[in-house]
A and B are shown apart, each in its own frame.
Chain A
Amino acid sequence: MSCEPWQCAEIAATKKANPIMKPDVAVAMIKKAARPILIVGSNATERWMEGRQLIEYIIDFAKASKVPVVATAHMVGEFLKRGYEPAGFMSAMDIGNRLVDPSWQGLDGKGHPDLALFVGLPYYMEALILSGLKHFAPDLKTITLDNLYHPHASWSYPNGTLEEWASNLKVMTSKFEGGQQ
């Protein structure tokens, strides 16, 4: 597993993501967060692991962890088709823009998120949004749940195989109360 940017030119400068070498690290940070959100992009229906789409793994994880989901692009319809209602939906740019605004009180109006999890956006878009958050939302922690290393996140999994990705997501899901549903 490599901690080089998946797309070779997406390098960061002096501040790059800490690697998540095992899913328990990500789980601990999510459990520690007071107001996490999970942003899910359009690759959620494009990526397949072990015969299941990424979005199905995400639904399992979101149900178990109770982390509210923000669906970008047209993904809200895909979640609804699968019987899961995300907490919100908006464009990837809009959620990024809200996250850099400290006065934004979150989807429920009760407070600004302190942890933003990302998964399933086109790599370069996710990299850019994470860069924006790194620079302009210094109090926000970011984690990517992709199998591709994102240097602009606070924490990122290294580049990994689809099998490793599936395993990580399943382990993370199982670590929350109620386990995988």
Chain B
Amino acid sequence: MTTKNVHVKIDEMKTSTGLIKNLELSIGKVVDDSWAEPMGPTPMPSLTTLRDWDMKLLNRYKPFYMPDCDLCCLCTYGKCDLTAGKRGACGLDIGAQSSRIVLLACSIGAATHTGHARHVVDHLIEKYGRRHPIDVGGLNVKVEAPVTRLVTGIRPETLGDLEDVLEYCETQITHCLSAAHTGQEGNNLDFESKAFHAGMIDQVGMEVADIAQISTLNFPKADPEAPLIQMGIGTVDTSKPVIMCIGHNVVPSVGIIDYMKDSGLADKMEVVGLCCTAFDNTRYYDRAKIVGPISWQLRFIRGGFADVVVLDEQCVRTDMFNEAERVKAPVIAASEKNCMGFKDRTNDPADEIVADLVSGKVPGVLILDPDKVGEVAVKVAKQIAPIRRKMKVLPEIDEIVALAKTCRQCNMCQRSCPQDLKIPAALKAATEGNIAPLTELYEECIGCGRCEEVCPVKLQIHSFIVKAGEKYMIEETNLCRAGRGAVQDVEIRNVGSPIVLGEIPGILAVVGCANYPHGGKDVYDICREFALRRYIVVTSGCSAMSAGSYKNDEGKTLYEEFTGTFEAGGVLNVGSCVANSHIAGAAIKVANIFAKRPLRGNYEEIADYIHNRVGAVGLAWGAYSQKAASIAAGFWRLGVPVLVGPHGSKYRRMLLGREDKPEDWEVYDARTGDKVNIGPAPEHLFQTVETPQEAMVAIAKLCIRPNDTWKGRSIKLSHYIDLHKRHYGVMPPDLHLFVRTMADVPMTMKDEITAILEAKGWKETVIPDPTLLPRMIRKKKE
């Protein structure tokens, strides 16, 4: 525990040794370190503290760059053409420039989460005080902040302690960002190392944000049975006033929900959310509803469902004020980071603001006081709902048919569509009264609206698609588990051994945004496949929504079909973006709680443990944002592989291992100091997969770890082989690289695999106590 800003003033004091007059003493910080665990080697690492560790990973998983742009236009030397080895005016080449862009993305992501955390912590300290205790799971969670403990060496006990953690994060993010300035870093691998650093800091920032809000706002506390929340546009009772909250920061929504409840309006209004604010609303108030992922913003607004739109921060469509104005829905911007050009009305009387919004005198306002946001939003919704009569801008079908006849078939809509959707063909069919092709686009459309921006005859193509899919839209009635937050220590104790030994075949974290190549069903299918195979499936963010948006043959969503416990066959939603830290936290806790590895300021050893022993894989099937990049980077530094869907290739840099280079796959056996070849396990650190079938095979393979026991390896190989044969039609060609002893071979396939091993000239090897760190070798070789 630390105490900040102690100020002592003594006008006069007599003591046995003398008289003290006019003494003023200021102390920036009093550190009361009651944590018995000794400090590890790397508390609060600087930009270069973990550079050696990063280089170990980067030498095995070398960057493969796919520049999205041949130019650099970041300074006035430029534009510089960096094509094919040319250096720019500052001396940078395209490899370093590409990794610089990765660093920028990760720094933006880390700054966004940390900025979010700063706002939440400052607000909650103001409301609850610095001494408010951190409590993320009562007696079930003793390691309350595993990432923070690991990185900073601080064990936060109160909200005030989180300020120290944030100060460290803010300093590091500033350094990371500064390294991207022209004429700073010049080597691509050093840029990559700094991107890892930003990712690690991002994990801390996310954890701070989430444990602060869990501790104060009565969110589910590591609860496997967190409530099931109604989800989907069809669950919204549009006969009531509807307040729609978009973004990631729950603070303004808390103001809305509190005011609504205090006014006795809880049964008379709907508070719904999109993107991560939806999750945190429902963690605070289980009668709030989740509309859906980020990509449904336009759908919901144009469908006329929202009476008031409240915008906080992150992933909000930046033209939301235009869209809301079209349906006469007033907008309240509630974040300093997202003012939308509205006048700041924070200090005006609430009723004046309400009158201006209801009358339409102003389309929107900026209010930075969350309590006032609550009062204004509720009052406006109540008054305006009967006036608006759910005004919508979706055209009727006969209008679509008529308007489609003006289409010039220029193809610009398809050429601007990230999904390459066959919009011209669908419009052509519509001219003949056939709406079915437009309806088919509904599931795959990611709601970006680029089609409309380029249409030379200004067709509202996205509205056409939404109207054509309206039947599906209003039938969307699903259930999503509220974000449970952390994983309990006791859950870790229960599964630590089978995870590390490989008997639970893996942990699959399905996270991130909704920029899917073919709709959200792929997310559901992948989650269900691995839950049925008794992997532990963890979800968060928009992916958690998509996972819950489809049903099995019995009409059950994933969250009804599978337990929410962190155990084999569990499907647990940790919560919003910032709750992703609990996934990293769970892996860290396996090393600390199960394996008793020291945690405090001991990053390298814990990451080495996770990389070699914890069969975890992240899948961000629809990742789009800089935050997703920094989240991934946080996992890279922990040695956890991350897969992205095809759009994730636009992150323009992969970290790929080479299974055909045996020299890349050596570890130390910590028992003997011998170097042992462990095969490509895990093969990649960051990889784009093209199809869900490929994703499933890759997930099974990437869960393989050097430490697997023969029994664990046998189980993991069974899943890998089964999925490979199902989707690829053949045995895996690299199977021999993962068999260390014949005991690793699944019993039922012994004859077939033995023949393969013989043909490959396979030789038995040992199962090491694997480490990449020479200092972890217990017996040094002479």
A64: Cβ under 8 A from any B Cβ: no
B70: Cβ under 8 A from any A Cβ: yes
| From A74, A91, A131, contact of B66 by CB (8 A) | A131
- Find the B residue at minimum CB distance from A132: B66
Which residues in A have their C-beta under 8 angstroms from that of B694?
42, 72-74, 91
In the complex, which residues 26-78 of chain A have their Cβ closer than 8 Å to any Cβ of chain B? Answer: 41-42, 72-74, 76-77
Which residues in A have their C-beta under 8 angstroms from that of B728?
74, 76-77, 89
**Inter-chain residue pair count (beta carbon < 8 A):** 126
Q: How far does the Cβ of A98 sit from chain B's closest Cβ, in whole Å? A: 8
- Find the A residue at minimum CB distance from B412: A8
A18: Cβ under 8 A from any B Cβ: no
Q: How far does the Cβ of B44 sit from chain A's closest Cβ, in whole Å? A: 35
In the complex, which residues 108-128 of chain A have their Cβ closer than 8 Å to any Cβ of chain B? Answer: 121-125, 128
B771: Cβ under 8 A from any A Cβ: no
Interface size on A, as a range, is 35 or more
Which residues in B have their C-beta under 8 angstroms from that of A13?
69-71, 81, 83
Could you tell me the distance between the alpha carbons of A134 and B660 in the complex, rounded to whole angstroms? 24
- Does B67 contact A135, Cβ atoms closer than 8 Å? yes
Q: How far does the Cβ of A126 sit from chain B's closest Cβ, in whole Å? A: 9
A7: Cβ under 8 A from any B Cβ: yes
Interface size on B, as a range, is 35 or more
| CB contact under 8 A between A131 and B68, given known A77-B728, A89-B728 | yes
| CB contact under 8 A between A124 and B656, given known A8-B454, A73-B689, A80-B729 | no
In the complex, which residues 78-126 of chain A have their Cβ closer than 8 Å to any Cβ of chain B? Answer: 80-81, 89, 91-94, 96-98, 100-101, 104, 121-125
In the complex, which residues 67-110 of chain B have their Cβ closer than 8 Å to any Cβ of chain A? Answer: 67-71, 81-85, 94-95
In the complex, which residues 1-38 of chain A have their Cβ closer than 8 Å to any Cβ of chain B? Answer: 6-9, 12-15
Which residues in B have their C-beta under 8 angstroms from that of A94?
656
A178: Cβ under 8 A from any B Cβ: no
| From B65, B454, B730, contact of A80 by CB (8 A) | B730
- Find the A residue at minimum CB distance from B659: A94
Could you tell me the distance between the alpha carbons of A91 and B694 in the complex, rounded to whole angstroms? 8
A172: Cβ under 8 A from any B Cβ: no
| From B418, B690, B693, B730, contact of A41 by CB (8 A) | B690
| CB contact under 8 A between A77 and B64, given known A15-B84, A92-B690, A97-B658 | no
- Does B690 contact A135, Cβ atoms closer than 8 Å? no
Q: How far does the Cβ of B409 sit from chain A's closest Cβ, in whole Å? A: 12
Could you tell me the distance between the alpha carbons of A131 and B652 in the complex, rounded to whole angstroms? 10
Which residues in A have their C-beta under 8 angstroms from that of B175?
none
| From B62, B64, B416, contact of A8 by CB (8 A) | B416
- Does B649 contact A124, Cβ atoms closer than 8 Å? yes
- Find the A residue at minimum CB distance from B94: A135
| From A121, A128, A132, A134, contact of B650 by CB (8 A) | A128
- Does B693 contact A97, Cβ atoms closer than 8 Å? no
- Find the B residue at minimum CB distance from A79: B729
Could you tell me the distance between the alpha carbons of A132 and B64 in the complex, rounded to whole angstroms? 8
Which residues in B have their C-beta under 8 angstroms from that of A97?
62, 64, 654, 656, 658
| CB contact under 8 A between A125 and B688, given known A6-B415, A14-B81, A136-B65 | yes
Could you tell me the distance between the alpha carbons of A137 and B649 in the complex, rounded to whole angstroms? 19
In the complex, which residues 636-670 of chain B have their Cβ closer than 8 Å to any Cβ of chain A? Answer: 646-647, 649-650, 652, 654, 656, 658, 660
- CB within 8 Å of A: which residues of B? 62, 64-71, 81-85, 94-95, 412, 415-416, 418, 420, 454, 517, 646-647, 649-650, 652, 654, 656, 658, 660, 687-691, 693-694, 697-698, 727-730, 733
| A-B pairs with beta carbons under 8 Å apart, 29 shown | A6-B420, A8-B412, A13-B83, A15-B70, A41-B690, A72-B690, A73-B694, A76-B730, A89-B728, A89-B733, A91-B687, A92-B688, A93-B64, A97-B64, A97-B654, A98-B658, A122-B420, A124-B418, A124-B647, A124-B650, A125-B646, A131-B66, A131-B68, A132-B64, A135-B67, A135-B82, A135-B83, A135-B84, A136-B94
- CB within 8 Å of B: which residues of A? 6-9, 12-15, 41-42, 72-74, 76-77, 80-81, 89, 91-94, 96-98, 100-101, 104, 121-125, 128-129, 131-132, 134-136, 138
Q: 4 tightest A-B contacts by CB?
A: A77-B729, A13-B70, A74-B693, A128-B66
